[in-house]
């Protein structure tokens, strides 16, 4: 049955309803806690197994050892090589935020955050370098 103006009732109802759209930068959207956005790195946990690097579909993540120059310690006459320490560099322009690295990490050193406002005017600012505390300490020295 063809009838003109079939939608008018909904239109008039909507005149007295609150609109559903918001003005984005002023009103923030509600982000679910399950949302996958920027990747966070816990340097103390990383063991440098490189599973994340191997499985990254976008070739965005790099795990770099920072303490090649650290000297081995001697305990009871035995030389124990220093525990290897790593930093993580993620290129946010390449990252597709699939979260495969967080899933594959055997020690849960990587995790997803809900920080989605990552756009930037500068390409260099998109390279997210998450340093190991050792690096900053050795620089101070």
Partner 1 sequence: MPKITVPLGPQHPALKEPGSFMLSLEGEEIKDAVLRLGYNHRGVEKAAEARNYVQNIYLLERVCGICSHAHATAYVHNVEEIAQLEVPQRAKAIRMIVGELERLHSHLLWLGVAGHEIGFDTLFMYSWRDRELVLDALEEISGNRVHYSMNSIGGVRRDMSNEQIKKVLGILKTLEKRIKYYITVGTEESTILARTQGVGVLPKDEALKRCATGPQGRASGVDRDVRRDNPYLLYDKVDFKVITQDSCDVFGRLVVRALEMVESCKILKQVLENMPSGDIAVKAPIKIGPGEAVNRYEAPRGEDIHYLKANGTDVPARVKVRAPTLANFESVAYMLEGDTLADAPLIIAAIDPCFSCTDRMSLVQTGTGKSGIMSFKELRAYSIEEYKKKGIDFSKL
Partner 2 sequence: MEIIKELIIGLFYIIVFPGLLFLVIYGGLSEWLDRKFYAQMQNRQGPPWYQPFADIIKLMSKQVIIPKAADKKMFKILPFIAIAAINTSIFMIPIFSNSALYGFRGDIIAVIYLLSIPTATLFLIGWSSTSPYATIGSMRVLTQLFAYEVPLLIAVLGPCILAGSWSIEDVAVFFTNNPWLMLVNIIGFLVAIVALQGKLERVPFDIPHAETEIVGGVFTEYSGRLYGFMRLALDMEMVVVAALINAVFLGGSFGYSGWIGLLLFVIKTEFVVFLLSVLKAAMARVKINQMVDFCWKWLAPFAILQILICIVARFMING
Instruction: Answer whether 40's CB lies under 8 Å from 121's CB.
Output: no
28: partner contacted, choices partner 2, partner 1, none (Cβ within 5-8 A by kind):
none
Distance CA 86, CA 14 (A): 57
Quote the tokens at residue 98: 């699939």
Other C-beta atoms lying within 10 Å of the C-beta of residue 39: 23
Q: Which is nearer to partner 1, 4 or 77 (CB)?
A: 4
Q: How far is the CB of 24 from partner 1 (least distance, A)?
A: 14
Q: CB count, 10 Å around CB of 61? A: 23
15 binds partner 1 (CB under 8 A): no
User: Is 53 exposed, middle or buried, given 0-12, 13-18 or 19+ CB atoms closer than 10 A?
Assistant: middle
Residues touching partner 1: how many (CB under 8 A)?
27
Shortest separation between residue 2's beta carbon and partner 2, angstroms: 12
Pick the binder of partner 1 from 45, 48, 50, 57 (CB under 8 A): 57
Binding positions for partner 1, rule: CB under 8 A:
1-7, 10-11, 20, 32, 34-36, 54-58, 96-100, 103-104, 112
């Amino acid at each position: 049955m063809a009838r003109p103006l079939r939608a008018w009732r909904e239109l008039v109802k909507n005149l007295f309803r609150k609109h559903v759209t918001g003005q984005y930068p002023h009103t923030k959207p509600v982000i679910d806690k399950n949302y996958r956005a920027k990747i966070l790195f816990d340097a103390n946990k990383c063991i440098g197994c490189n599973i994340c690097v191997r499985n990254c579909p976008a070739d965005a993540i790099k795990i770099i050892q920072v303490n090649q120059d650290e000297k081995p310690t001697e305990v009871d006459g035995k030389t124990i090589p220093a525990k290897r320490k790593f930093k993580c560099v993620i290129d946010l322009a390449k990252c597709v935020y699939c979260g495969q690295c967080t899933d594959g990490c055997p020690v849960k050193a990587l995790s997803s955050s809900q920080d989605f406002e990552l756009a930037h005017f500068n390409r260099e600012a998109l390279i997210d370098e998450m340093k190991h505390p050792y690096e900053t300490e050795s620089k101070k020295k």
